[in-house]
């Protein structure tokens, strides 16, 4: 991977396909990923930048930070750029070998005081160390719904008091009128970013079995069930949202 090569344009779904297979984070997707994600998630650059700024507020010296479902390491690199705490290490995890290989190249290209260790693993099976920040930036939506509570519980247990989880997700809504409006606005956003109607509909079909969305209420209930007492939505654009969930210090809960 040569991070200083021009970013390739995403044309994965540009041609008509006889059969649209399930979406996979394979080599073809990894090669165009920076272009794909920035044209597909409203506010992606703001979210990634803010994750770094949140790290600077919440990461505790001499602790570990997890970037779960790191893809090419955008959140890890933002944390590396912004966080000034001493003795911090970032553990970036993804279960796609193609992503992990490219992520390693990106991480090596950026200097800085915070080491980033990239590994290929399923976050559902990961044993977590005590940590002060965990990032799930558009990852949980790709995990089987029945495994999601256990992952959030595991993150809560691993977080130190005062630690933080940033959870970003595409969401769905019970209210069909609101849901249809937000989806429509989102498709307009994609068209404005140069995706054709064919690309939008083929990608949608590819994601149907792979990305299973929850409502905001389901996400919040899951975070509260795990024990997070402070849950705040800090970003919202159409059907894309991000929460910050804080594990309170014992004094704060007294």
- The residue ranges that bind ligand GEK (CB under 6 A) are 25, 37, 48, 69-71, 74-75, 93-96, 99, 122-124, 137-139, 142-143
Residue whose CB is less far from ligand GEK, 172 or 248: 172
Residue whose CB is less far from ligand GEK, 183 or 248: 183
Q: CB–CB of 131/106 below 8 Å?
A: no
CB of 4 to ligand GEK, least distance (A): 18
Residue whose CB is less far from ligand GEK, 18 or 54: 54
For residue 4, the cross-strand partners are none
Residue of closest CB approach to ligand GEK: 69
Q: CB–CB of 52/114 below 8 Å?
A: no
Report the distance separating Cα 31 and Cα 150, nearest Å: 32
Residue whose CB is less far from ligand GEK, 93 or 134: 93
CB of 169 to ligand GEK, least distance (A): 10
Report the distance separating Cα 55 and Cα 50, nearest Å: 8
Report the distance separating Cα 168 and Cα 103, nearest Å: 20
Q: CB–CB of 237/220 below 8 Å?
A: no
Q: Taking the CB of residue 199, how many other CB atoms lie within 10 A of it?
A: 19
In the chain, % helix, strand, coil (3-state, to 5) comes to: 45, 20, 35
CB of 161 to ligand GEK, least distance (A): 25
Residue whose CB is less far from ligand GEK, 207 or 251: 207
CB of 69 to ligand GEK, least distance (A): 3
Angle 27-40/97-109 helices, nearest 10 degrees?
Answer: 70
Angle 216-226/145-158 helices, nearest 10 degrees?
Answer: 40
CB of 151 to ligand GEK, least distance (A): 8
Report the distance separating Cα 113 and Cα 84, nearest Å: 9
Report the distance separating Cα 218 and Cα 145, nearest Å: 11
CB of 56 to ligand GEK, least distance (A): 17
CB of 123 to ligand GEK, least distance (A): 4
What tokens does 77 get? Answer: 């690199």
Residue whose CB is less far from ligand GEK, 72 or 223: 72
Residue whose CB is less far from ligand GEK, 75 or 182: 75
């Amino acid at each position: 991977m040569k991070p200083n090569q021009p970013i390739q344009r995403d044309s994965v779904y540009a041609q008509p396909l006889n059969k649209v297979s399930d979406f996979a984070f394979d080599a073809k997707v990894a090669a165009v990923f920076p272009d794909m994600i920035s044209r597909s998630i409203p506010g992606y650059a703001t979210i990634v930048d803010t994750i770094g700024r949140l790290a600077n507020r919440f990461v505790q010296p001499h602790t570990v930070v997890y970037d779960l479902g790191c893809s090419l390491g955008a959140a890890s690199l933002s944390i590396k750029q912004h966080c000034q705490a001493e003795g911090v290490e970032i553990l970036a995890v993804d279960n796609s070998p193609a992503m992990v290989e490219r992520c390693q190249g990106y991480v090596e290209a950026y200097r800085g005081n915070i080491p980033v260790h990239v590994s290929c693993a399923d976050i559902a099976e990961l044993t977590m160390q005590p940590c002060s920040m965990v990032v799930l930036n558009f990852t949980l939506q790709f995990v089987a719904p029945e495994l999601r509570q256990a992952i959030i519980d595991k993150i809560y247990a691993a977080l130190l008091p005062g630690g933080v989880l940033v959870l970003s997700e595409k969401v769905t809504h019970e209210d069909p009128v609101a849901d249809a409006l937000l989806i429509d606005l989102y498709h307009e956003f994609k068209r404005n970013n140069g995706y054709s109607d064919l690309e939008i509909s083929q990608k949608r079909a590819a994601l149907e079995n792979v990305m299973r969305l929850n409502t905001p209420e389901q996400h919040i209930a899951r975070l509260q069930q795990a024990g997070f007492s402070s849950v705040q939505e800090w970003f919202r654009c159409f059907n894309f949202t991000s929460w910050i969930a804080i594990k309170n210090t014992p004094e704060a809960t007294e």
